[in-house]
A and B are shown apart, each in its own frame.
Chain A
């Protein structure tokens, strides 16, 4: 897994209410005709962050990125970069560069000319351009490829040229549109690592658009999950995965078991939820902002549940339910169990295969108990 940009815990600026954001998106809406591609998005991004905009197709993430680059003008709202209002500034006058999903390399120019293009537009001297291009070619490990045309390069090499070209002008902010989307899986993992290394070396702020949640989780300092033109949640990868704020985010990232329940006990220290769907009570070991008799949802990740043949003791009818193993998917490092509960609901439970070739492992059609800790699940009200 790629190493994340090295930000010490106490320097996470988004946790500091006094920190000044580097990019400020305020109430930005973009309409195409009657359709709002982005609606009322507000977002602060801090210097040296690697921020991922994560969402499905049509979620508005690319439109938001294009507004940052200047290719689209917001219908309303403002975009501020480094304290300057950039909302109406043309793309060629912004201190922002973009790496395109298709890479958009100039087909009639060689690698060096591609990288030098932006520098020439800035009116830099010949020698300075040559030096800068050489430096960038070294950075992306393409020293020997300067004279090649884009069509003579492999997909991975093209991706690196696109990155070098976008970095050439030393932008304050680099926008990356699905930077790894066109690469195959193995290359993607390597490149992910390199991308983070480069970002860390240069300290430049990255905003990455991606639809790949694994990519977002391993790259980002923070993730903004987008859904239907709105930001559904902003947070560090662990927040997004472990403490989703809504049914959408819980379901969008990773796999999850979600059940409906009714609050029966609402205490400051704990909550008890009755779920007929699950066939038992859910005891949550912390307070939740809810009301008695309120209907809400409870979500739990498959790896946070345990299977056992014997009924665990001392749970008083909470956090344990019973069912039968319907299907097992063996993935090597772990196995995925599909458990059909007595209530008719199906749960997905993963168990790490810690013992090699375990002859005693739970098998098909076995009746099992499913349990979990009182802090493993998330209570969701929306």
Chain B
């Protein structure tokens, strides 16, 4: 049908005096008039889907950092306003933390009455973990892959693979990528998030991930069947090149035995992701060394 029309089109181009009067030509024009909107729709849709298909979680950070000069400022203003309403709560938690630190300090003093003689502060480079703070300026939870945007970036010493925790010491996520002034973190509510979790006070551990069903429940899977579990047990981070050991993840809510070989646990997050406004970022000094060593070992195993 189309090929006939095209050949006619060529003929009428030569004999252009019959251009408007001929019904065949009109039909061709009508055909194009009918089809150009769907055609454009298909072209644009294919372009959009293609762009979406090739995007990675890093694309998000790239897009955000390219619109950041304007968006970042507005984001910061909005989060400042929101932040104002949580000031009282934040003050309370700071005072509580100060009290705890004071008490702990008094215990150390009681145990070691003359600290000047024995206490030697190590060089700052020798510290295993480096801490810094940031504000959350954007936080999504309604997707399969959720992210937090923080108001600090490369210029403030933020790097990819830093751990993100709350000031109270509970897990939030992992820094994924940074621009000069902002960084994007994968939150624990992201189906690509994986880390190791251990039942506090025991040596049994498993893998933490989110199945996307509830905003305050994550899964701890493949815990040894010899583990002694009870509701309310605390789950902490473990064996990670990102998180310091012992960061609180949440408490056990329920569990089930899978195929008589291991436990799957539901863990209720101690800090719901919706209420995170201020975060601490932690860099593990030996991270690169540990990761390279692990990758090397894995390669050797593959080569065998």
A and B assemble together = no
Interface residues of A (CB under 8 A from B): none
Interface residues of B (CB under 8 A from A): none
